[in-house]
Amino acid sequence: MDIPITIPFVDLNLQHLPIQNQLQQAIQVVLEQGDFVLGKALSDFEAAFATASGTKYGIGVASGTDAITLGLQACNIHAGDEVILPANTFVATLIGVLRTGAKPILVDCDPHTALIDLEAAAKAITAKTKALIPVHLYGQMVSPKQLLDLADTYKILIFEDAAQAHLAEREGYRAGSVGIAAAFSFYPSKNLGAFGDGGILLTQNQDVAEKMVRLRNYGASRKYFHTEIGTNSRLDTIQAAVLHQKLPYLQNWNRDRLTIAQHYDTELAPLATQGIIPIQNHSAQGHVYHLYVIRICESCPVNRSVIQEELTAMGIQTGIHYPIPCHLQPGFSDLGYQKGDFPHAEMLANQILSLPMYPGLSHSQIQKVTDAIARILKVNSPTESLLFA
């Protein structure tokens, strides 16, 4: 029997219903104009999102994965180059590197923030290193100042994976404005989500932007004139129209996410002694909390799978982002990495749990989630907890 969901992991209706008429009107305009591919709404949105993120150029593509792949190619990353990235990321980051022909060099993450360990990244740099990809995970940016220091010291490119960090801020920078280019995803559940797949590359560099425009459209500099091997990866005009209507609300939605995270922090604080520890925020008000992630540490009397199952039984949806680090995924075994190579990433994969997070999640719902976790911990005596070790 299906368990009724009382608190979903994501509820997009809370965002869409208040602006439903605007969204429908924007779609209707595209329908009437008939410019479904590379239309006016796309160029308008590209410019608006680039400006909002503090960059000059935006080039919309079919997905966040394509934004990484084609973006790296536009930055002249190719076979023979090495690209450093964290083992603790969604596989799209790794796939993007592999699709360029470059060699991915994985490094571990900080166990407290889940972000790439920049000291480990510095040690991994070789004469073949062309770029470093900081993944702004869960809505928190990797330190821009440290990234720029690395880029300057070792003369490497910084290519941001900002798929989860729309309008995130840290140290005076916005996500997408730090490196030579940045890839974003507009998957529906992102902070700024389309009604399907979509992505964008942001850059300050005109040459990169112009090459990206060609790569997404069969490598054509003009119609039927192809200067390089490109592909067909264009953000649909209808999706761009939807995103453009939602963009003015994004900052308020992000503020709502931050407030929700602060409520979670307060409600969960008493459970720290039970091994329930939120992923740390080192970005103050600049964290946009695409996800709210806790660690269920070894000191917790109940293991993660039991907690997740009990929450599900109460109608509370949760997620794990991500249960298997990139280096242990079967599809990438030929990279030569083994279990134990990145202990922090492996530890987090076994501990993390993502709680419901979306604009409109009420304080009472947050309390229900945290009270449910507290009840799960309290029902197990020390003897019973041994059963779950």
Spans of all domains in the chain: 13-107+114-249, 250-388
Cβ–Cβ under 8 Å, residues 350 and 304? yes
Q: Residue 348 in contact with residue 111, Cβ under 8 Å?
A: yes
Task: Report the chain's C-alpha Rg in angstroms.
Answer: 21
CA angle 239, 242, 243 (to 5 degrees): 85
Torsion angle, alpha carbons of 277, 282, 285, 288, to 10: -70
Known catalytic residue at 223: no
212-271 pLDDT tens trace:
999 999 999 999 999 999 999 999 999 999 999 999 999 999 999 999 999 999 999 999
Q: Which of 312, 375, 371, 360 is nearest to 6 (CA)?
A: 312
Q: What pLDDT shows up at residue 3? A: 81
The 10s digit of each residue's pLDDT in 162-221 is 999 999 999 999 999 999 999 999 999 999 999 999 999 999 999 999 999 999 999 999
Please give the average per-residue pLDDT across 6-11, as a whole number. 97
pLDDT score recorded for residue 118: 98
Query: Where does the pLDDT of residue 38 fall: very low under 50, low under 70, confident under 90, or very high at 90 and above?
Result: very high
Return the SS3 of 3.
coil
**389 pLDDT exceeds 80?**
no
Report the distance separating Cα 30 and Cα 34, nearest Å: 6
**Does pLDDT of 387 surpass 90?**
no
Average pLDDT, the chain: 96
**Nearest CA to 382 among 319, 302, 318?**
302
CA–CA gap between residue 14 and residue 135 (Å, rounded)? 28
Q: Of all residues in the chain, what percent carry a pLDDT higher than 90?
A: 96
Residue 381: what pLDDT? Answer: 35
Question: Can you list the pairs that 262-268 forms with residues at least 24 positions away whose Cβ atoms lie under 8 Å?
Answer: 263/363, 263/366, 264/292, 264/355, 264/366, 264/369, 264/370, 267/366, 267/367, 267/370, 267/371, 268/294, 268/370, 268/373
Token pair, residue 244, equals: 């453009």
The number of beta carbons lying within 10 Å of the beta carbon of residue 169 is 20
Tell me which of 130, 190, 211, 246 is the catalytic residue.
190
Separation in Å, CA 199 to CA 6, 26, 61, 169, 185: 31, 19, 5, 20, 4
Nearest Cα residue to 131 out of 104, 158, 105: 158
Check whether domain 13-107+114-249 has CATH 3.40.640.10, yes or no: yes
d(CA 145, CA 162): 16
Of the chain, the percentage scoring pLDDT greater than 70 comes to: 97
- Which candidate, 65, 107, 67, places its Cα nearest to that of 85? 107
Q: What is the pLDDT of residue 379?
A: 44
Residue 275 has pLDDT above 80, yes or no: yes
Residue 1 pLDDT class (50, 70, 90 cuts): low
Specify the 3-state DSSP secondary structure of 69: helix
First and final C-alpha spacing in the chain: 29
- Number of C-beta neighbours around residue 255 at 10 A: 13
Q: For residue range 65-84, what is the model confidence (pLDDT) as tens digits?
A: 999 999 999 999 999 999 99
- CA nearest 192: which of 184, 180, 202, 201? 184
The reply to whether 13-107+114-249 and 250-388 are identical in fold is no
The sign of the torsion formed by the CA atoms of 73, 79, 82, 84 equals positive
What's residue 382's pLDDT? 37
112-121 residue pLDDT tens:
999 999 999 9
Residue 385 has pLDDT above 80, yes or no: no
Give the per-residue SS3 of 240-263.
HHHHHHHHHHHHHHHHHHHHHHHH
| Interatomic CA distance for residues 15 and 12, integer angstroms | 5
Of 137, 148, 44, give the one whose Cα is nearest residue 89: 137
Query: Which segments of 53-167 does DSSP mark as H helices, in order?
Result: 64-74, 91-100, 118-124, 144-154
* Tokens 């073949």 belong to residue: 128
Task: Note the CATH number of domain 250-388.
Answer: 3.90.1150.10
What is the 3 state secondary structure string of 324-335?
CCHHHCHHHHHH
